[in-house]
Structures are given as C-alpha cells and as structure tokens.
Amino acid sequence: MFVIFGAAGNVGRASAAALREAGRPVRAVVRDSAQAGPLARLGCEIAVADLCEPVSVARALDGAQAVQMLCPVPRSGSLPAQAMRHMIDVAASALQMNPPPRIVALSDYGAELRGGTGITELFHELESSLAPLGTRLTLLRSAEHMHNWARVMPVALATGILPSLHEPLDKRFPCVAAQDVGRLAAELLSDTFNATASADPRVVSMEGPERVSALDVARVLSDVSGHEVVARTVPREHRAAMLGRAGLSEQHVRLICDLYDAHNAGRIDVEAGVGQWRRGTTTLAQAFAALVPRVAAAMSRQ
C-alpha cells in the first residue's frame, strides 16, 4: 500500500493520480472526509487522519509499503510554528515506530540551513526529525510552488498591480509546478533506491524548466488573463500589515517575512553538490493557464 498524507493538496493529489495510473494501491490520507470524493474516484482507499493525533496517524500507516509525508504550515491559528512542530513530532514518532521500506518527505529549497529562514526553518526541523530513518528516507526539496501566486491573483486581476515580496523585481528565482513535484514524488516512492555507501537519507531537489522574476510573473499573468498586470515590490516595512490584512497571525507574518528576507539575500536555493537535481516540465505559462480561470471564476462569484 502506498500511503499519501496531504492527498487532497496539489502535490498529494498529483502523486495519488500518478500511482493509480501505474496500477499501485493508494491510501489517500485526508483530514476531512469531505475532501475524499476526487481521490475515491481515482480508486484510492480513503483514510481520515489528523497529523496532530498519533492514533489516527498510526492507523493510516498500517501496512504501508511506501509513505509520502507532508507536514504543512497551518494557515489558521495564532501559533503555526508550534502547530507544525507538533505535527513533525507525531509523524516522526509514528514512522520510527513502524518504518515502511520507503518514505518520501516533502521539503523545501534551503531546508539544509539551520536558522534565519522563516517557514523554511520548519522544514529543516522536519528533515532533522526524520533523519534517523536513514536510507529508508528520501528528502524531496522543491523550489517555490508556482500555484502560490494564486493567493495574490485576485488583487492583481482587479487592480492591475501584482504585489511581490521578491526583490529586486528582475531577480530570477527558482519555482516549480506542484503537479511536477507530485509526479516525481510518486516516482521516488516506486523505485528501489538503496544507498549502500551511506546511511544518510537521499536528497532530491526539484525546480521548473526555467527560473523567473517577478517581472516575468506579471508578464505571464498579463498574457494568460488578457489584462495588463505590472509587478510592484511591497516595501519591507509594509509587508507585515499587508499579510495581516490577509488574515494571517503575527507569528505567521513573521515567518513569511523572514523567509523572503532570506530569499532576497540569496540564501534560499538548491544545496550545491548534494544529492540529485531534477527539472520539472511545466512552464509558468502552463501553470497559470490552469490557475487563472479558477481564480477568475471565484472572483465572479463574490
């Protein structure tokens, strides 16, 4: 059984679909049974589990041949870092008590860094907690996901201004489509990798076919939507207020601001000379071609 945590998300859903297409048995783990419909139609077995509840996690892992683990940063609540650390502790404990032959943990570019990286620092903690699993474990570090721009698309389409935390606007940064990460994760879950030279986990890093800048993002959004959009940097001193108006807690705002400080200082990138490096095939234009109609439809319903 291939067990996919976070199966209702963009990456997990792509992994589940790829594994089912290959004829693999999949247990799709979701937090809410309302998320199960599309996964059940793929032929997945459904498990409802909460990463904060050890008993439900252990039940979901029962009989697993391979596990894809995702510990997300919660968007609700005032203490997202503490909540994610608790999920990491629960997941690491469950996997160490009953380790399957293969585990793929979804992580981030920059997760090798010990501090000062905001949200990415939490993925460093994830990697450190799972490291004792050794050669059973693959750390799949991905660049910034293209679909994250959907969060500011309504503002950009309504005002013609794309707010960017990346600066300068012409600085190129790595990004990747979530579906490419999901398909690669499915491939890594299915292989029979066995590191004989080292007891350390395998590291695989992934980004898209080309690096882009905030200027590129605005240009592609203009082309796909048919509306002129220009990129504008959100000044550092205004970012906390903007993110707070989006409903994020003070701690979550600080995590995001610290992350982009690290990005803009050039600290967040693929770890040179470590593990494998793979490119996805989905371009930013292709990703936005799928995203923009959904965003526009949601805006029309408001």
Tokens representing 99 are: 């380790």
d(CA 164, CA 175): 14
Exposed (0-12), middle (13-18) or buried (19+): which is 149, by Cβ within 10 Å?
Answer: buried
Write out pLDDT tens, residues 40-94: 999 999 999 999 999 999 999 999 999 999 999 988 888 999 999 999 999 999 9
On average, the pLDDT of the chain sits at 94
The Cα–Cα gap between 301 and 296 comes to 9
The pLDDT-based confidence of 197 (bands split at 50, 70, 90) is: very low
206 phi/psi in degrees, rounded to 5: -140, 135
Whole-angstrom CA distances from 297 to 125, 132, 150, 161, 222 are 38, 46, 13, 19, 17
pLDDT by residue (tens digit) across 215-270? 999 999 999 999 999 999 999 999 999 999 989 999 999 999 999 999 999 999 99
Contact 127, 105 (CB under 8 A): yes
pLDDT tens-digit series, residues 119-141: 999 999 999 999 999 889 999 99
How far apart are the C-alpha atoms of 29 and 231, rounded to whole Å?
38
Q: What's the pLDDT at 198?
A: 57
pTM of the model: 0.94
**Cα R_g (the chain), whole angstroms:** 19
pLDDT at 12 over 60: yes
Average pLDDT, integer, range 169-183: 97
Structure confidence at residue 75 (pLDDT): 82
Alpha helices in the chain (DSSP H): 10-21, 37-41, 54-61, 80-97, 119-130, 153-159, 178-190, 214-225, 236-245, 250-264, 284-301
Q: What domains are there in the chain, each with its CATH number?
A: 2-301 (3.40.50.720)
User: Mean pLDDT across the stretch 135-150?
Assistant: 96
